[in-house]
Amino acid sequence: MGMIQTGKNRKNLVFSKKVADLKKFGAAELVLILSIIVLVVVVAIPILLIFWNAFTTADGKFNIKDVIWILSKPETYQALLNSVTIALGVTMLSTILGVFFAWLVTRTDLPFKGAMKLLFIVPFMLPSFIGAMAWKILLSPRGGYINVFFKNLLGIDKPLFNIYGMAGIIIVETMYLFPFVFLQVSGALERMDPTLEESAQISGIDLFTITRKITFPLITPSIIAGALLVALYSLSHFGVPAILGTEVGIYNIPTLIYQKIYASAGSFEAIRTGTVLASILVISAAIIMYLQNLVLKKGRYQIIAGKSMRPMLLKLRGFKIPLLIFSILYIAVTVLLPTVTVFLVGALKTYGLPLKHKHMTLENFKYILFSWKMTKDAIKNSVVLSLGAAFVTMLVGTMISYVIVKMKVKGKFILEFLGMLPFSVPGTVIALGVILTWSGRFGVNLYNTAGIIFVAYIARYMAFALKSTSAALEQVHDSLEEASRSCGATHWQALKHIVLPLIKPGMVAAFFLIFLPALRELTTSVLLYGPTTRTIGVAIYALNEDGETVYAMALASIALVIIVLGEILIRKITSTKEGNG
């Protein structure tokens, strides 16, 4: 026992006081400092270096002239404009689609609503750059399967569709991003207190007016939140514009950064242009995040009510079956068609052959999985990097969340501020930031190694870990931990016996939330890979660029299988968790 005798034993008291002082400097402060260091090194320094590079000259003087000069160059100006145009287009289309489908599955008597709701989330599983490649195969003006089909059918010379260009990019991105809006809005519609609408109905107002005057304003915050999420994602998205734009000379910010860095092999001017563009991304992302927080905070108190709601359902009557068919067709066209294309083309003996059984072979998959070193390495790299990054990020994220949510330490506000950063840093920015940070500037050179991708993944997915683990920790009431302390457990014991077992589901969720997207990551990896450190995403992208379409699709098929298996696994884990609770 470390109790302190009073009066009787002065020496003992002085000694124990020292022990107590030492203890005061123990766990809490240590963990806080460690958490701050991690976030500073992984996130803050890369971002600061980007700004530093963008706004100073080589000898460290503040420099706005170059920034303006870079921005006024037609190519950067055009890329900025393209990014904004694409983001606006995608956001608008996604919002319309997301709100419509959300309303359809929550507020109408559409048949098979439960299944339809799941189907509308499926587009999330298909990596958008793979989707873009599939659409290119189907709709490219030269040799696109659908175009060829119509040429033969109608006997025309010119292709019917052209997927290249702004319209194609916007449409394809929308296909795979609208679930952001769908999820937000269907969630809000489900949680909305039906009495709000019922009381209007009792007052004799018709359903259309109710929807317009009551339902719609109530879900507006959710719509805006979902739309901002789409905008944030689209603004800094690399895959789709790289595949459908680069070929016809259309660049957005991320693809321009990629092109600059690779075309000029990392010259000072290329890095300068990259950092200026990246700075714009960071600032716009921060603004979007800020707006979203503002909107969500306002919206939270308006609609949320208890459970077991029976909202009024609009009877679709004659539109019931047509709308069902439309929904199923939408999913079939946007998800099933590209997926099937990926698998079929991946199985072709040679690209360009008609999609017939006699031209199919399993040899491509075998070759990619077992024989070709490049693809084998890519799969291995992706799996190892994703597993490692998911594991480390989950653990570090748990630690940081613990400090933010549970601990009372001086200086916590620093961590709270730093903890916000990962949420507003796009993948391209992270890639550029880690290049600046880990290329020997601070004595560590990870350039062209797997290590640089690893630190980039940690930075990129830290937000996911923080979100998931802090939500789990917030549900563990402080008194549970305190009860353990009062039973004689030390802080560490209380963590081990009580807190960790209780937040384990949140940690597992965080792991998969990082592992699955990291497995198919392209935006960040494509700026960081070296000769031996391709990831699955990079390999697919490179194969496609090199014209090895068949192998690209074969590898994409394998990636899709892994992703789907992973999604099924995570659903199993999270649903058993809910079953126990």
Partner 1 sequence: MAEVKLENISKHYGEHRVIENLNITVKEGECFTFLGPSGCGKTVILRLIAGFERPTNGEIFIGSSLVSSAEQKIHLPPEERKIGVVFQDYAVWPHKTVYENVIYPLKIQRIDKNEAKQRTMQAITQVGLKGLEKRLPYQLSGGQQQRVALARALVSKPEIMLLDEPLNNLDAKLREEMRFEIKELQREIGVTILYVTHDQEVALAISDRIAIFDHTGHVRQIGAPREIYEKPADKYVFNFMGVSNFIPLEIKNGATIIEDSNIPVALQPPTGKKEALRMLAACRPFDIELTRENTGMKGEVKRVTFLGATMDYRINLGEKELRIQQDTQEALQNNLLFKEGEDCFLKFHNVAWFESQSVEMGVS
Residue 191 or residue 497: which is nearer to partner 1 going by CB?
497
Contact between 576 and partner 1 per CB under 8 A: no
CB of 580 to partner 1, least distance (A): 9
Tell me how far the alpha carbon of residue 414 is from its chain's centroid.
25
Q: How many residues does the chain have?
A: 581
Whole-angstrom distance, CA of residue 137 vs CA of residue 151: 15
Whole-angstrom distance, CA of residue 307 vs CA of residue 397: 31
Nearest-5° angle of CA 341, CA 226, CA 456? 70
Whole-angstrom distance, CA of residue 34 vs CA of residue 396: 10
CB of 396 to partner 1, least distance (A): 24
CB of 20 to partner 1, least distance (A): 5
Q: Quick one: DSSP state of residue 25? A: T
Whole-angstrom distance, CA of residue 112 vs CA of residue 97: 19
CB of 404 to partner 1, least distance (A): 19
Residues 520-539 that bind partner 1 (CB under 8 A): none
CB of 30 to partner 1, least distance (A): 15
The count of chain residues that interact with partner 1, using the rule CB under 8 A, is 33
Contact between 16 and partner 1 per CB under 8 A: yes
Give the interface segment with partner 1, choosing from 127-135, 399-407, 483-491, 508-516 (CB under 8 A). Answer: 483-491
CB of 31 to partner 1, least distance (A): 16
Whole-angstrom distance, CA of residue 194 vs CA of residue 102: 16
Please report, as a single letter, which amino acid is at residue 374.
Answer: M
Q: Side-chain half-sphere of 244: how many Cα atoms within 13 Å? A: 32
Burial grade of 82 (CB within 10 A; 0-12, 13-18, 19 or more): buried
Contact between 487 and partner 1 per CB under 8 A: yes
Contact between 393 and partner 1 per CB under 8 A: no
Residue 13 or residue 362: which is nearer to partner 1 going by CB?
13
Give the interface segment with partner 1, choosing from 8-16, 79-87, 109-117, 179-187 (CB under 8 A). Answer: 8-16
Give the interface segment with partner 1, choosing from 311-319, 330-338, 371-379, 489-497 (CB under 8 A). Answer: 489-497
**Binding residue for partner 1 (CB under 8 A) from 486, 545, 569, 576?**
486
Residue 505 or residue 517: which is nearer to partner 1 going by CB?
505
Q: At what angle do helices 128-139 and 145-154 cross, to 10 degrees?
A: 20
**Binding residue for partner 1 (CB under 8 A) from 267, 490, 532, 576?**
490
Locus of tokens 């000069």: 69
**Binding residue for partner 1 (CB under 8 A) from 484, 523, 524, 533?**
484
Tokens describing residue 236: 């800094």
Site mask for partner 1 (CB under 8 A), range 443-482, x = bound: ----------------------------------x-xx-x
Alpha helices (H) in 304-349, listed in sequence order: 320-331, 337-346
**Binding residue for partner 1 (CB under 8 A) from 20, 118, 287, 353?**
20
Residue 473 or residue 563: which is nearer to partner 1 going by CB?
473
Tokens describing residue 425: 């840093």
Q: At a CB cut-off of 8 Å and minimum separation 6, what does 20 contact?
A: 2
Give the interface segment with partner 1, choosing from 14-22, 41-49, 76-84, 384-392 (CB under 8 A). Answer: 14-22
Locus of tokens 């070193």: 373
Site mask for partner 1 (CB under 8 A), range 259-298, x = bound: ----------------------------------------
CB of 572 to partner 1, least distance (A): 20
Which run of H or E residues covers position 12? helix 10-24
Closest CA to 247 of 237, 259, 229, 236: 259
Residue 207 or residue 489: which is nearer to partner 1 going by CB?
489
Contact between 491 and partner 1 per CB under 8 A: yes
Residues 161-180 that bind partner 1 (CB under 8 A): none
Please report, as a single letter, which amino acid is at residue 103.
Answer: W
Contact between 416 and partner 1 per CB under 8 A: no
Backbone torsions φ then ψ of 108, nearest 5 degrees: -125, 175
Whole-angstrom distance, CA of residue 43 vs CA of residue 418: 8
Taking CB atoms within 8 Å and a gap of at least 24, the contacts of 365-372 are 365/554, 365/557, 365/558, 367/551, 367/554, 368/551, 368/554, 368/555, 368/558, 369/558, 372/551
Q: Which residues bind partner 1 (CB under 8 A)?
A: 1-6, 8, 13, 16-17, 20-21, 23-24, 477, 479-480, 482-491, 493, 497-498, 501-502, 581
